[in-house]
Amino acid sequence: MRFAIAVALMLASAWVCGAAERERGLAVGGLSRTYTLITPDRQNEPLPLLIVFHGGGQTAERARVYTRFDREVERERYVVVYPQGLGNNWNDGRTASGLTERQASSANDVDFTAQIIAQLVFERVADAGQVFLAGASNGGMMALYAGCALEGRVAGIAAVVANQPADWRCRASRMPAIFIHGTEDEYMPFAGGQIAAKQSRRDLGRVLGAYETIALYRQMNSCAGIKESKRLDNDKRDGTIAVVTDYECAEAALKHIVIEGGGHTWPGTRSGMIAERVLGGTSNEINATAEIWQFFASLRVR
């Protein structure tokens, strides 16, 4: 499944004011793996680490363009990593027949994630107690998969236009999480079922519905009810409404943002007619990047 953002969406500079960028490499399972590391220009202590997984069929650079997490590293004092998946995809735990020909199908991307964390903690770049994972579509499911597998080493996860794959369940005892779903997403079915059923002839696997996914995390995080829910419709031209729900949870924080009328897109990014036709509507009611970082920041150890 491809979380393709049209080239016309935006262009991002490779240099960010007040930040340092480095290309890094690791050997994982006999394979050479790479990631882009962006840190504040002046860093003298370990900082929170955010790993952002690109969508299926994308690159680390493309994820950097539409998420723009790297633009806040100096002001918010964190470091961000954009890893590159093999063949531009991630092994997120799905076992569907249409995925077997992908180069990523045999990759241990959980181990890749763990090694990135270990390397940056060892180098005192990252704070071991404040590691967060985020991603969209295939990248969002990878954030779920790695976060659940690396319980104790991951402090929170964010999944955009990504549901729980039917092939596995999270076995973590607790996991702070924020989910963002679009009700008109034709690639990641809001109600659950076959992924990209109308867009691909290949079997890309099945997922639970958005609310079924949330129910699993409500149970995991011991959420008794809703703390706050609000509807946002500040931009009448975008054709969407954002329903933002914070749950009352005893074990770990949980937030769910449903974009009514939203497609397979990253809310708050600039989009064009091509992207709208292919992926569906992009909401301006929220900025996914800001919402995710605010959620993670609320979990940070001060």
Domain ranges of the chain: 19-299
Contacts 24+ apart (CB under 8 A), 186-195: 186/263, 186/264, 186/280, 187/1, 187/2, 187/3, 187/137, 187/161, 187/264, 187/279, 188/1, 188/137, 188/161, 188/162, 188/163, 188/264, 189/163, 192/163, 195/1
Mind listing the pLDDT tens digit for each residue in 108-141? Answer: 999 999 999 999 999 999 999 999 999 999 999 9
Rounded Cα distance between 133 and 58, Å, is 17
pLDDT of residue 123: 96
Q: Which CATH superfamily is domain 19-299 in?
A: Alpha/Beta hydrolase fold, catalytic domain (3.40.50.1820)
Mind listing the pLDDT tens digit for each residue in 172-197? Answer: 999 999 999 999 999 999 999 999 99
The band of 19, judged by pLDDT with boundaries at 50, 70 and 90, is confident
Mind listing the pLDDT tens digit for each residue in 199-232? Answer: 888 999 999 999 999 999 999 999 999 999 999 9
